[in-house]
Structure 1
Amino acid sequence: MVRGVPRTRLGRVAAALAGLAVLAACQGTSGSGSTASGSANGSADSTTVSVVKTVSPSVVLIQTADGLGSGEVYDTKGNIVTNAHVIGSATSFVVTTSSGKQLDGTLVGSFPPDDLAVIRVNGAGLQPAKFGDSSKLEPGATVLAIGNPLGLEGSVTSGIVSALGRVVSEGPGGATLPDAIQTSAPINPGNSGGALVDLASEVVGIPTLAALSPGSQAPAPGIGFAISSNRAKVIADQLVATGRVTNSGRAYLGIQGGATTGGEGVLVVAVTPGGPAAQAGITAGTLITSVAGKPTPGPSQLAEVLATLSPGQTVPVTIVPPHSGVRTTINVTLGELPG
């Protein structure tokens, strides 16, 4: 499991300027070899420029009273997809398009468990981004992150897809992303909610957070994470249709949990009546030490385990009942996380 930090609030993260890496071209004795290399580089540059020109008009800057972030136009009705942590508790926004036009935005709906939200502006003249099929991504594929880091509108960084299917925790109080894309494309403050695009000019992810180095807790260079476009579409379609998520597709235990002093497990503070835990006999005061054979020393680890499971799945849950001190394992049939 990986932990990171959302990259949107300017005051929350001190961004350090990285040194520029200079690539030295080795000139061989063959003139034709040099020409072929130059031709290949020119072709790659041309493709990248074309992608940026195609996608940038669909990427917007979102401002709230607390900070700023990015988003992309989802459809011709003016719906814009972004991160839930970008909008926070705000319900109205100032949205700046790539042409510099400012529009008033209103909240359509938010789903914090997946760190996704949809806001809406007057859609006249806005160009929707084309969302691709993230399941077709492969490690090593070139991707570009387009957004507004540090408020610098229309900025572009590049990298590759480093890994797929990561389970990433945003830390205490944050979301746990079940199907994140790891990328080497730098994700800086203000990039959150923007577009991770492939060379076909299709959005394949929503840049969301950067990994933190253990110990120093400083952003780890070259390790960023994006919500997959397929997951974003599932949530965004529901938010656009009804303003809420009714089919999350995520496993749900039905408890409110707290941390323990020694990391011995998750202390059940409250149980949802009629929920999966209640039906299995779990009560307040119970200590949950593992789920599906994986240790759960704290709430974040429990959320990470649940993110890998599915609604309807029956899994072993190891608990210490209140006033017992004896570990026992019961089977719990997981529900679906409500919107």
Structure 2
Amino acid sequence: MPTEPTRRTFLGALAAAATGSVAGCSNNSTPSGDETRYPVNRSHETTLPARDASDSTVADSDSVYTRVYRKTSDAVALIRTPDGSQGSGFLYDDTHFVTNYHVVGEADRASVQLDETTSRIGRVVGRDPRSDLAVVELGSATETDPLSLIQSEPTIGTRVAVVGSPYGLRGSLTSGIVSGIDRQVPSPAGDYQIPNAIQTDAPVNPGNSGGPLVDLSGRVLGVVNSGGGDNIAFAISASLVRRVVPALIEDGEYDHPFLGAQTATVTELVARANEFPNAKGVLVVDVPSGAPAEGQLRPCTGVTRVEGFRVPVGGDALLAIDGEAVRTPKDLHAYLALNASPGETLSVRVRRDGSITTVPVEIGERPELVA
């Protein structure tokens, strides 16, 4: 009589099959083609104490995460491109799926797998390397309800789920919490930091990119962008998605606001060197020629030493923009990214020549990427 396979043998075969199927549609030896430039979480199998089936079956069939999965999974697709790159995406409206730029790259078309038997070819109608967002359009509406974006900023400790296709395994869910907010993460563009990113400890693996990070109501908090190691991953915030995606659908691209001033946090040393009454705001260190801020903001005029440290002196200190306090260069970058548009004039409160004044500053457009 044949020997019955052990559970360990079965799990090992399943893992090998899953990994092999993904490697087969990649352009290289990495597990999948969509995240080769981003570090990822590695999930680990954990053995849990056995529970009596009579106690667990009913409770587990209607857990909060089961309800989240039922509410969201039909709107989450496996995205593949002709060159073998793959990731996830979610239904934004009747015909548009949001995913990552680093998933679709410069492809014109992508396969959108909606379930085990339904796959449709969509057209990539918009992409933005700086925000790492892209949109795939289907020719006709699906029968699935789109996912909605959360209207407020998430709080640390909020329970969340990641729904997507890790290693090509469509319809997978992992869970965790929001473990950080207002992060900056590198973008595929190289010259830009994605602002306002959400940090989570939910496991993220290759293939999750482009899928939604959702709360327990099924609302999208962000678009999964990358994993950075055990128990740390990042998502592009709903606030940034709300600004970028409509432009990608309408115009195929997004114009990022740009000030062009190089700034530094006003530390205690900077405040002492510049004879500021307190360490608040950001110092305008330099304004390159041709930058939008040229002629509107005053850069530093020199460098001095305080307790042996070189400290810039003589420039404007930005305190607030349109009434919102600015404490760090990261604050300035996030405010512009989430609130400003090229051509707009903002009211900037600065400390200049020993007094506080308000100056109008016109925002420009970030220069195009050079190939």
* Aligned-partner Cα distance in 2 for 1:166–1:16: 18
The one of 51, 63, 86 aligned to 1:68:
86
The one of 248, 259, 262 aligned to 1:253:
259
2:149 corresponds in structure 1 to 132
Is the Cα–Cα contact under 8 Å of residues 41 and 231 in structure 2 kept in the other structure? no
* Aligned-partner Cα distance in 2 for 1:88–1:267: 34
* Aligned-partner Cα distance in 1 for 2:185–2:36: 23
1:84 corresponds in structure 2 to 101
* Aligned-partner Cα distance in 2 for 1:267–1:67: 41
Q: Secondary structure at the match of 1:233?
A: helix
The one of 222, 228, 231 aligned to 2:237:
228
Q: Structure 1 residues 316, 143: CA separation in 2 closer, same or farther (over 3 Å shift)?
A: same
When the two chains are superposed, the root-mean-square deviation of aligned CA atoms in Å is 4.1
Q: Secondary structure at the match of 1:308?
A: helix
2:46 corresponds in structure 1 to 21
- Cα deviations across residues 249-273 of structure 1 (Å, max 9, x unaligned)? x4x13489xxxxxxxxx9999745x
The one of 157, 160, 172 aligned to 2:177:
160
Larger Rg: 2
Amino acid at match of 2:363: G
- Cα deviations across residues 77-123 of structure 1 (Å, max 9, x unaligned)? x1111112222112221221124322111121122222212120123
Amino acid at match of 1:71: G
Q: Secondary structure at the match of 2:205?
A: coil
State the TM-score, normalized to the length of structure 1.
0.67
Gaps of 5+ in 1: 1-6, 28-34, 212-218, 257-265, 283-288, 294-301, 318-330
Q: Structure 1 residues 88, 108: CA separation in 2 closer, same or farther (over 3 Å shift)?
A: same
Q: Secondary structure at the match of 2:78?
A: strand
Q: Secondary structure at the match of 1:160?
A: strand
2:28 corresponds in structure 1 to none
How much does 1:198 deviate? 1.3
2:267 corresponds in structure 1 to none
Q: Is the aligned partner of 1:9 residue 2:34?
A: yes
* Aligned-partner Cα distance in 2 for 1:268–1:8: 39
1:186 corresponds in structure 2 to 203
Is the Cα–Cα contact under 8 Å of residues 200 and 233 in structure 2 kept in the other structure? yes
Is the Cα–Cα contact under 8 Å of residues 77 and 112 in structure 2 kept in the other structure? yes
Q: Is the aligned partner of 1:54 residue 2:60?
A: no
How much does 1:144 deviate? 0.7
Q: Is the aligned partner of 1:241 residue 2:250?
A: yes
Higher RCO (C-alpha 8 Å, min separation 6)? 1
* Aligned-partner Cα distance in 2 for 1:126–1:270: 53
How much does 1:150 deviate? 1.7
1:105 corresponds in structure 2 to 122
Is the Cα–Cα contact under 8 Å of residues 77 and 89 in structure 2 kept in the other structure? yes
The alignment-based identity, stated in percent, is 32
Q: Structure 1 residues 177, 12: CA separation in 2 closer, same or farther (over 3 Å shift)?
A: closer
Gaps of 5+ in 2: 1-31, 263-284, 300-311, 319-327, 341-345, 352-358
* Aligned-partner Cα distance in 2 for 1:291–1:19: 51
Residues paired across the two proteins, number: 279
How much does 1:151 deviate? 1.5
